[in-house]
Amino acid sequence: MDAVLSTQGIIEYVIDSHYTTMSEGVFDQRKVSPRLFISRYRSEEENLSSLLIFDSLGPTNFESDPPFDARYPVPEEQQRATLDPLSALLYVIVGTDADDEAPCGRHVPIFDGIYRYNILFDHVRDIRIRAKRDQPYAGPGYLCDMMVESVAGFPKPRRSDFSWPEMRVRMARIDGGNYVLPLRLSVRTDFGALVARVTRFTIGADPKQ
């Protein structure tokens, strides 16, 4: 599983960055078991690359170039039974933690080699997603709050009132209910709203766009 994130448009004049990740592992009966996570980050100020290896219990080895700041280590017990960020996305899509009461899922434990955090979902209401030119899905869906819970590896916030930005995600069950697809993520920041949308997805060899 691969992902590429880069800034485009007006925001590129403020933040010019490129983030590439790759994850390998095993997926069986809605269970996601990562084995390898590689990430590369490039901006005008820095270039970072990292490698994270998992076994059946959790991460076993982490390497980064340049070496990461080890002042905020994550205890081994908090690394166990975690997923890398890409495997976490697959965990959500296959609905491992979702049911009728929590259609977006509930809790995703993540460790990327440096930071340990949880993604939490809270179902707000059922919605109807309207057809749009650049949207690959129309039909029933779900609106859920999405929250980040810091666990370990983070420096102490400079502000005592620090909190993660408010996030909401629109999701829908597709392919006969086999998958839970995040279609739109909105994030409120001090600079305004940031929106990410899915414009194309593929099931097997059938691209939807």
pLDDT tens-digit readout, 2-19: 544 444 444 444 445 677
Q: Who has greater pLDDT, 109 or 43? A: 109
The pLDDT tens digits for 182-198 are 999 998 877 677 788 88
Q: How many CB atoms lie within 10 A of CB 64?
A: 15
**pLDDT at site 12:** 43
From 187, 157, 184, 153, select the one nearest 171 (Cα to Cα). 184
Task: Please state the rounded mean pLDDT for residues 76-88.
Answer: 94
Q: Is the dihedral of CA 13, 22, 169, 179 positive or negative?
A: positive
Q: How confident is the model at residue 84 (pLDDT cuts 50, 70, 90)?
A: very high
Question: Which domain does 163 fall in, by range?
Answer: 2-208
The pLDDT tens digits for 122-176 are 999 999 998 887 778 899 999 999 999 999 999 887 766 678 888 999 999 988 8
Instruction: Tell me the sheet residues that pair with 93.
Output: none
User: pTM for this one?
Assistant: 0.84
CA-to-CA distance for 111 and 175, rounded, in angstroms? 29
**pLDDT at site 202:** 75
In this predicted structure, the answer to whether residue 207 has a pLDDT above a threshold of 90 is: no
Q: How confident is the model at residue 204 (pLDDT cuts 50, 70, 90)?
A: low
Segment (H or E) for 86: helix 85-93
The number of distinct structural domains making up the chain is 1
Q: Who has greater pLDDT, 28 or 62? A: 62
From 13, 19, 4, select the one nearest 50 (Cα to Cα). 19
